[in-house]
Amino acid sequence: MKKIRYMSIVLFLISVAAFAVFRIYEWSERDGNPPVIRCPEEPLTVSVADGEDSLLSGVKAEDDRSGDVSDSLVVETISEFSDAGERTVTYAAIDDAGNVGRNVRKLHYTDYQKPRFILEKPLRFSEDEEVNIAGTVQAESMLDGDVSTRIKYSLESEATKGSPGTWPAEFRVTDSAGQTSELVLPVEIYDASTEGIDVSLNAYLVYLNVNGSIDLLSYYAGADREGELDIQGNVNTAQPGVYYADYIVRNGVQQGKSRMIVVVE
């Protein structure tokens, strides 16, 4: 009986030892090293419109066991802009054992610009209508497309109550790269009884480079009644700022007005 007991103990010890040896061997053979991603040292320069293939240009991934795993490379993240005006691309690659390697590279754009605002109609409201700023101002980003839902604005309560006059409204919008555009626009509340002509423009918000040229007449689209057109404004293309051009059409005692905002950058 004792012999059987001793044999059981010996077999148990042998099993434990064999299992331990197996686990040690398994551990020694385990692949725990991630792929190594190599990037060119110089920053990557691309257009905003370039796709992921351009972002992966010149990037390679090698693994000590799986070999070349460059086909697994992806752009994992792109940071916001730094103070130096550049972004950081984080690349990732995976080997056959599931290990993930990462590396980063600086990114410069050749044609990036901050989000821009769009006006579908002038920021003019009669005393009797709702002052719907959110439905009038939109925004577009070169990186994200339509970012109108990200617009934040502030407007004095007197304007929202329909008090006649011109009131400043401040608009802000931020894109996915963390860049914020700000613009202060005049909101006019007017007496509808003084206007009986509907004046239309081809654009209600125009961006212009400093010292650029602008033909104000070319933005006039017409009016629903004949009349004499008078363009008034304060546009100064030599100085950055926010300006306006008023298009006034008069026909006897009746008149109508539309306003275009000109942003000189």
Whole-prediction pTM: 0.80
Q: Is 163 helix (H, G, I), strand (E, B) or coil?
A: coil
| 234/169 same-domain check | yes
Query: How far is Cα 28 from Cα 120, in angstroms, rounded to an integer?
Result: 67
The DSSP bridge pattern shows strands 100-109 and 87-94 to be antiparallel
User: Number of structural domains, the chain?
Assistant: 2
Whole-number pLDDT of residue 127? 86
Whole-number pLDDT of residue 153? 93
* Residue 124 resides in a domain: yes
* Residue 30 resides in a domain: no
| 90/139 same-domain check | no
* Residue 28 resides in a domain: no
DSSP class of 175: -
Going residue by residue through the chain, which has 265 residues, state the pLDDT in tens, using 9 for 90 and above: 555 666 665 555 566 555 555 555 444 456 679 999 999 989 999 999 999 999 999 999 999 888 999 999 999 999 999 998 999 999 999 999 999 999 999 999 999 999 999 999 999 998 888 888 877 999 999 999 999 999 999 987 767 677 788 889 999 999 999 999 999 999 999 988 888 999 999 999 999 999 999 999 999 999 999 999 999 999 999 999 999 999 999 998 899 999 999 999 9
| 54/159 same-domain check | no
Per the structure, the complete domain to which residue 127 belongs is given by 116-264
| 216/244 same-domain check | yes
| 145/254 same-domain check | yes
| 260/145 same-domain check | yes
Are 206 and 188 in contact, with CB atoms under 8 Å apart? no
* Residue 5 resides in a domain: no
* Residue 31 resides in a domain: no
Are 87 and 107 in contact, with CB atoms under 8 Å apart? yes
Q: What is the largest CA-CA distance in the chain?
A: 126
Of 104, 101, 80, 100, the closest CA to residue 90 belongs to 104
* Residue 16 resides in a domain: no
| 140/255 same-domain check | yes
| 123/230 same-domain check | yes
| 157/58 same-domain check | no
| 81/167 same-domain check | no
Whole-number pLDDT of residue 28? 47
Query: How far is Cα 203 from Cα 262, in angstroms, rounded to an integer?
Result: 10
Whole-number pLDDT of residue 191? 87
* Residue 12 resides in a domain: no
Whole-number pLDDT of residue 135? 79
* Residue 21 resides in a domain: no
CATH of the domain at 244: 2.60.40.10
Domain edge (last residue) among 58, 75, 109:
109
| 126/221 same-domain check | yes
